[in-house]
Structure 1
Amino acid sequence: MRFLPGLLLVLPFLSPLAHAELFDDVFDRGELRIALEADTPPFNFKEGDKLTGFEVELGELLAREMDVRASFITTDEADLLPGVESGKYDVAINHIAVTAQLRDRFDFSAPYSYANAQMLANKQQKPLLSGLDTLTSSQFAAKPTEGVDLRSRVDAKATLTLAIPFQKGNPAFKSSLDMALERIKADGRLTALSQKWFEADTSKPAK
């Protein structure tokens, strides 16, 4: 069989190991698939059958800025990050603290929020989590094997950086997501969203 010279240049990109950029997949679908647990107010939770919370509204804003629709998929901790890793979900927006271990598995957006264990433990008006047991089992806490053990430092002031994980090797998607997030930050919408749900501006590290 003979191949045209130009075709020889294309063939390496048709191998089984080649994969489409997440950017192309998302825009071909016109949909950003967002995984979350929907059980940790005020980050994300259900009021009746309706999803709501800080991260739900954030996901809607990001999808709109990227000119696609937001599709929220409720899942559990066992499926959340493996689902992103396998491509079942495009992203997880589930108060995930960035750690060195997670950076080995995922690429991350720019940070969208900053918080610390003391804030979680002491919040009075809008409890972030139902208690320390919930705190240590949530993705926010990041399991001890992922580098952060809040059970031994629940009153610590160490700042946790929250960002959005997605499959590695997708620079165009990261650029699009980060630019959408930057627009939301620049015009004050992220600050307003943070004030609405936390009564504080968590979009910037505390000084």
Structure 2
Amino acid sequence: MRFWPGLMLLLPLASPFAHAELIDEVNDRGELRIALSADLPPFSFKQDDRLTGFDVELGELLAKELEVKPSLLVTDHDDLLSGVESGKYDVAITPVVMPREVEDRFDFTEPYSDTASQPTVSLAIPLQKGNPAFQTSLNNALQRIKADGRLAALSQKWLEREALQP
């Protein structure tokens, strides 16, 4: 019985709710780690040795809305999702449609864009499963970006038919 008080102090640590929320880690770091590829124009690509495109600017807007710096991390397509799942990246911004079997491994933001060629496909940002406060923060940021017209302007700039022409 002598160990009972010590055991009671440890029980909350075993709770699934005891882990830190990802939004707290992002705020503590002061940066949002955003995984991108650099070979998907007009979404993300290098121009004059500088990363640019729709996904890049969207990531920068999200970080600004979360009041942290964007950390744009270029990676290959295979590492985008596995890096988010492992915690290497906070989010991945990519126009690639997620296969059904992947959907169970991640949580997603609300859709931020519908593709013009396939109106039934919506783009959303994958994030590590089990971080509802982070998901809510991202959704709120997306809603503000949509509401004030910045997302529409970004889409106009990068995703209009003329922008997609070589």
> Normalising by structure 1, what TM-score?
0.70
Count matched residues: 159
> d(CA) in 1 for partners of 2:160 and 2:78?
31
1:73 match: 73
Tell me the CA shift for residue 48 of structure 1.
Answer: 2.1
Tell me the CA shift for residue 4 of structure 1.
Answer: 4.5
Instruction: Say whether 1:174 aligns with 2:135.
Output: yes
Q: Secondary structure at the match of 2:115?
A: strand
1:190 to 151, 156, 162: 151
Higher deviation after alignment, 102-111 or 191-200: 191-200
Q: Secondary structure at the match of 1:159?
A: coil
1:24 match: 24
Q: 1:115-162, CA deviations, whole angstroms, 9 ceiling, x for partnerless residues?
A: 15xx3xxxxxxxxxxxxxxxxxxxxxxxxxxxxxxxxxxxxx452111
Tell me the CA shift for residue 21 of structure 1.
Answer: 1.2
Instruction: Say whether 1:36 aligns with 2:46.
Output: no
Q: Which amino acid aligns with 2:147?
A: A
1:165 to 126, 132, 143: 126
Gaps of 5+ in 1: 120-156, 201-207
Q: Which amino acid aligns with 2:27?
A: F
> d(CA) in 2 for partners of 1:158 and 1:70?
30
1:205 match: none
Instruction: State the identity %.
Output: 61
Q: Secondary structure at the match of 2:101?
A: helix
Q: Which amino acid aligns with 1:167?
A: Q
Q: Which amino acid aligns with 1:197?
A: W
> Normalising by structure 2, what TM-score?
0.87
Tell me the CA shift for residue 49 of structure 1.
Answer: 1.8
Checking the alignment, whether the CA contact within 8 Å between 1:96 and 1:163 is kept in structure 2 is no
1:133 match: none
Q: What is the aligned-residue RMSD (CA, Å)? A: 2.1
> d(CA) in 2 for partners of 1:12 and 1:67?
34
Gaps of 5+ in 2: 162-166
The 5-angstrom pairing of residues 95-110 of structure 1 reads: 95-110=95-110
Tell me the CA shift for residue 184 of structure 1.
Answer: 0.3
Q: Which amino acid aligns with 2:37?
A: E
Runs of 4+ displaced beyond 4 Å: 1-5
Tell me the CA shift for residue 170 of structure 1.
Answer: 0.4
Q: Secondary structure at the match of 2:34?
A: strand
Q: 1:27-84, CA deviations, whole angstroms, 9 ceiling, x for partnerless residues?
A: 1111100001111110011112211100100000000000111001100012111111
2:10 match: 11
2:164 match: none
Checking the alignment, whether the CA contact within 8 Å between 1:98 and 1:160 is kept in structure 2 is no
